[in-house]
């Protein structure tokens, strides 16, 4: 399996990952190209024989209190490929990039009930936050993108 950081020249693989792994409708090409060209946004793909079998997206965040954090936004591995170490390789590739770019940490939001994800992150060295009262709240705009 090849692990690649998707760049604009990997547009078709990125579309495949979004559609088939992340379960979203791929955005217009110009938006996806801009995402892939942005040095602060990441799509890391696991590719076997030209097909995408795993995908991770995330962001480099330059915070004022820490030079840089990396946020792992989502990771999906094709169901028939689970438990073969693909998720581990994707997370390690993202963490390697974070280290290389001087980040202080990598963080992800997950659910304690998601055993596979929790094991994956633990195996890659992540530690869970203490149980707390925190909740994530979202303000949604109807037409935010254009």
Residue ranges that bind ligand COA, judged by CB under 6 A = 75-77, 82-88, 108, 110, 114-117, 119-120, 123
The least CB distance from residue 144 to ligand COA, in Å, is 23
* Pick 35 or 58: Cβ nearer ligand COA: 58
The least CB distance from residue 89 to ligand COA, in Å, is 7
Rounding to the nearest 10 degrees, give the CA dihedral for residues 101, 66, 118, 25.
-70
Task: Count Cβ neighbours within 10 Å for each residue of 51-77 and write b for 16 or more, e otherwise.
Answer: ebbbbbbbebeeeeeeeebbbbeebbb
Which residue's beta carbon is nearest to the bound ligand COA? 87
* Pick 7 or 82: Cβ nearer ligand COA: 82
With H, G, I as helix, E, B as strand and everything else as coil, classify residue 128: coil
């Amino acid at each position: 399996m090849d692990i690649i950081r998707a760049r604009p020249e990997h547009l078709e693989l990125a579309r495949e990952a979004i559609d088939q792994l992340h379960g979203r409708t791929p955005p217009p090409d110009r938006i996806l190209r801009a995402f892939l060209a942005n040095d602060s946004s990441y799509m890391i793909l696991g590719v076997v024989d030209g097909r995408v079998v795993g995908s991770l997206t995330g962001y480099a965040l330059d915070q004022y209190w820490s030079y840089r954090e990396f946020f792992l936004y989502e990771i999906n591995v094709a169901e028939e490929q689970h438990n073969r170490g693909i998720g581990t390789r994707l997370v390690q590739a993202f963490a390697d990039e974070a280290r290389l770019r001087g980040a202080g940490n990598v963080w992800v939001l997950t659910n304690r009930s998601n055993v596979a994800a929790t094991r994956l992150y633990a195996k890659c060295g992540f530690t869970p936050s203490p149980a707390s009262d925190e909740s994530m709240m979202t303000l949604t705009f109807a037409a935010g993108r254009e």
